[in-house]
Amino acid sequence: MAAVTMEKVVNLCKRRGFVFPGSEIYGGLGSSLDYGPLGVELKRNVKEAWWRAVVTGRDDVVGIDAAVIMHPKVWEASGHVSGFSDPLVDCKNCKQRFRADHVQSPTCPACGGELTEARQFNLMFKTYVGPVEDTASVAYLRPETAQGMFVNFRNVLETSRLKLPFGIGQIGRSFRNEITPGNFLFRTREFEQMELEFFVKPGEDDKWYQTWREERFRWYVDLGIKKEKLRLREHGKDELAHYAKGCADVEYEFPFGWSELEGIANRADFDLRQHSQASGKDLSYFDEETRERYLPYVIEPAAGVDRSTLAFLVDAYDEDEAEGETRSVLRLHPKLAPMKAAIFPLLRKDGQPERARKIYADLRKHFPVDYDQASSIGRRYRRQDEVGTPFGITVDHDTMKDGTVTLRDRDTMTQVRIPEDRLLDELRTRIG
């Protein structure tokens, strides 16, 4: 197994239509990336897997989809206006900017020049709502999705019949004017998050914090990430936000080192308290069992769609030998693979293409599948291996006689013959 490098993954993504440089025909825009036809499927599958595991698969979580532009007061109450900033240093010589906490040396990492003193740089993108660009209409693009859940806490409580403990989940775009974006999908200025706010009775928060740490770690493992490349890192007391009771990061060992995929935090009642005070609306919860009223505590697992998509890609990337050639293969979990199967006629004659196209049309009603009749069958398998398609279905001479096809497995490269009419069930079982 050859070592995976970011270069190999980035090249594969460009070559096969997973991720393109954003606005490429205009020379690109720093760290802006576009998902292509295969990338969009992969990313949708990541989000769907999260939504099922965290929202619809549970009876104690519901979803929302809140606006990107929220009332500016939200960001005052949340602490983002005053505190959502990174320390910035400028190089006096080459004028490049760096995050002070990312620079190891006292001089510029690019040219060795002298650096300015660090100053705080707010990461929120400002915009103007309405036609007049005055300060009264300043608003922000949300830097996280979490606040949508807090400001809708009462709406959700009043319209659902949920009782504590319960959660509200959301997937959506967030924007941060990062000082130093980079490492491909890892850090961009526009990205998607998958966040859950799980509200609990104070006193039960430690237990739920542990539960969500474990649940969230297991999610990555269940979707195929190698266990030895994942770890849960508990934050030290000095790393914790002043209100947080605990925080742990799920980290993945990328080619550029161990880096955060997701943070799970025990935020106590900080957010609901802040919004209660700032809005003047009571966000407390009345516990019918104990006849008490209190502000719930919240456990927040906050994950990045793009970061986990990158981790799934990097982790799945492999090279091995097939028929004497080096094969690059994405060993993506079938649930995440953009295409679930590819259908090939062995020959471009004897009615095989028509038969294969019929199978293709039938299966496409159920999940994304591909059809390919160009070049040798070995080449066609290889093309699908490279984009992670877990199953190959070949129509050959025998199909025309007895109605069976071959079903090839991407990882083991073994083939079995099965009747055409059992394909759908067989694929469903194997995809899981």
Residues of the shown chain interacting with ligand ATP in the complex, contacts defined by CB under 6 A:
144, 176, 178, 187-188, 191, 193, 260-263, 302-304, 306-307
**35 versus 381: smaller Cβ distance to ligand ATP:** 35
**41 versus 306: smaller Cβ distance to ligand ATP:** 306
**89 versus 369: smaller Cβ distance to ligand ATP:** 89
Q: What residues contact 200, with CB distance under 8 A and at least 6 apart?
A: 164, 165, 208, 296, 297, 298, 299
Q: Which residues pair with 322 in a beta bridge?
A: 325
Residue 373 · residue 391 · CB < 8 Å: no
Which residue of this chain has its Cβ atom nearest to ligand ATP in the complex? 304
For residue 168, give the amino acid letter.
Answer: I
CB 351 to ligand ATP: min, Å: 50
CB 260 to ligand ATP: min, Å: 5
CB 402 to ligand ATP: min, Å: 51
CB 84 to ligand ATP: min, Å: 9
CB 252 to ligand ATP: min, Å: 10
**31 versus 406: smaller Cβ distance to ligand ATP:** 31
Question: Could you give the C-alpha distances from 136 to 128, 129, 139, 374, in angstroms and in order?
Answer: 9, 9, 9, 61
**178 versus 315: smaller Cβ distance to ligand ATP:** 178
**153 versus 186: smaller Cβ distance to ligand ATP:** 186
Q: What is the 3-state secondary structure (H, E, C) of 350-374?
A: CCHHHHHHHHHHHHHCCCCEEECCC
Query: Which residue is associated with the tokens 């292509």?
Result: 36
Q: Which residues pair with 139 in a beta bridge?
A: 127
CB 303 to ligand ATP: min, Å: 5
CB 51 to ligand ATP: min, Å: 16
Query: Which residue is associated with the tokens 């605990």?
Result: 246
CB 187 to ligand ATP: min, Å: 4
**298 versus 393: smaller Cβ distance to ligand ATP:** 298
**307 versus 408: smaller Cβ distance to ligand ATP:** 307
**Cα distance between residue 404 and residue 399, in whole Å:** 5
CB 205 to ligand ATP: min, Å: 18
**Which tokens hold the place of 128?**
């103007």
**44 versus 189: smaller Cβ distance to ligand ATP:** 189
15: nearest Cα among 392, 389, 383:
383
